[in-house]
Amino acid sequence: DAAEKAGYEHYMRKEIHEQPTALRQTLSGRVDVDRARVDLDVSFPEALLERIEEVQIVACGTSYYAGRYAARLIESFADVRTTVEIASEYAFGAGRDPDRTLTIAVTQSGETADTLGAIRRADSAGARTLAVTNTLGSSVTRAVDDAVFIRAGPEIGVAATKTFASQVTTLALLAVALGRERGTLSASRARSVLENLRGLPGAVQQALDAEADVVAAAEQYRDEDAFFFLGRDLGVPVALEGALKLKEIAYDHAEGFPAGELKHGPLALVTDRTPVLAVLTEGGSPAETMTNVTEAQTRGADAIGCVSADREFGTLDVAFEVPDVGLLEPLVANVYFQLFAYHVANEKSRAIDKPRNLAKSVTVE
């Protein structure tokens, strides 16, 4: 057991630190920057991609948040309506044409019963189905038309970490591929996204190298009443995922919100004992988000922000720097949130790799 953790106290911290390697594996051999091409080795039926009117993503937990991140990229690059549904709530709804629908199951394990149920409903309705998974030979791969592997390597900690990064990265590659195939993404924009993807492992490494700053923040804020995570655009799924990590492993009350919603209710909960953690990077409308952070600070809350390297928000109580990787910057902010959750939980001596009441893979509906 100790040997498998390679000197780390918990699998979760090991897996957080494995992210640069996992991401290199995810990207390996799939990106041709010069030709602005992506090869995911999926062969869709002739003209399916030109024909599709909707991409549906079905998933649970952390995979659902990866889907939310990806949906924005798919809409932006491939100009196709993309919906994301919690798998247990999914139905192939009225008015949809199955011949023009691509349904994607995002599932690390490939065994989550709710996700399998949803993708089978899509399949029965006649939609084209695709799995994005970490697990070769898993049940989901047998339930779909095509599968793409995220190649993150085995993840043991119950709380998903490196698989989230690899899922978003794989789906970002798919978004570029769809955009190129549909003629909606220019070669120059595709190249710049692919350059950013190539820079992602190094950017994540820089965040990991700043872990000592996150430890200090975790020590400072470990005993607060609740934690509110804020983001806009691509920062929203990261805010939701950041809150989920803290709930799962620290057992602290944490909630994520689209930052603009703060004033429509959650602000009533803000006190000087509820720090806010915000995504203030490219892809996350940083200036607008900061306005909402300031609203919380006015009510006495401290603010911790993940900020793009070329920006500064002088009024933050704690700032974590995110290197320039364009629309992938919120994904680097997520690494800071993973470390924050880990170190708050560690300060409290929680059972980090096996939190109470939770399972790595939930095989009942």
CB atoms within 10 A of CB 235: 31
In whole angstroms, give the CA distance from residue 245 to residue 259: 19
Q: Which of 38, 52, 160, 173 binds ligand G6P (CB under 6 A)?
A: 160
How many residues touch ligand G6P (CB under 6 A)? Answer: 17
Q: Which of 61, 201, 283, 286 binds ligand G6P (CB under 6 A)?
A: 61
For ligand G6P, the closer of residues 65 and 77 by Cβ is: 65
- By CB under 6 A, residue 104 contacts ligand G6P: no
5 catalytic per annotation: no
For ligand G6P, the closer of residues 101 and 139 by Cβ is: 139
In whole angstroms, give the CA distance from residue 28 to residue 47: 27
- By CB under 6 A, residue 338 contacts ligand G6P: no
Residue 228 phi/psi, 5° resolution?
A: -115, 125
- By CB under 6 A, residue 334 contacts ligand G6P: no
* 275 close to 217: Cβ distance less than 8 angstroms: no
- By CB under 6 A, residue 107 contacts ligand G6P: yes
For ligand G6P, the closer of residues 112 and 281 by Cβ is: 112
In whole angstroms, give the CA distance from residue 203 to residue 325: 7
The one segment of 54-62, 175-183, 184-192, 216-224 that binds ligand G6P by CB under 6 A: 54-62
- By CB under 6 A, residue 166 contacts ligand G6P: no
In whole angstroms, give the CA distance from residue 348 to residue 58: 34
Both tokens assigned to 238: 């990261």
Q: Which of 5, 348, 354, 360 is catalytic?
A: 360
Distances (CA, A) of 119 to 111, 130, 170: 12, 9, 19
State the residue for tokens 């009441």: 357
For ligand G6P, the closer of residues 177 and 249 by Cβ is: 249
| Contacting positions for ligand G6P (CB under 6 A) | 60-63, 107-109, 112, 115, 158-160, 358-362
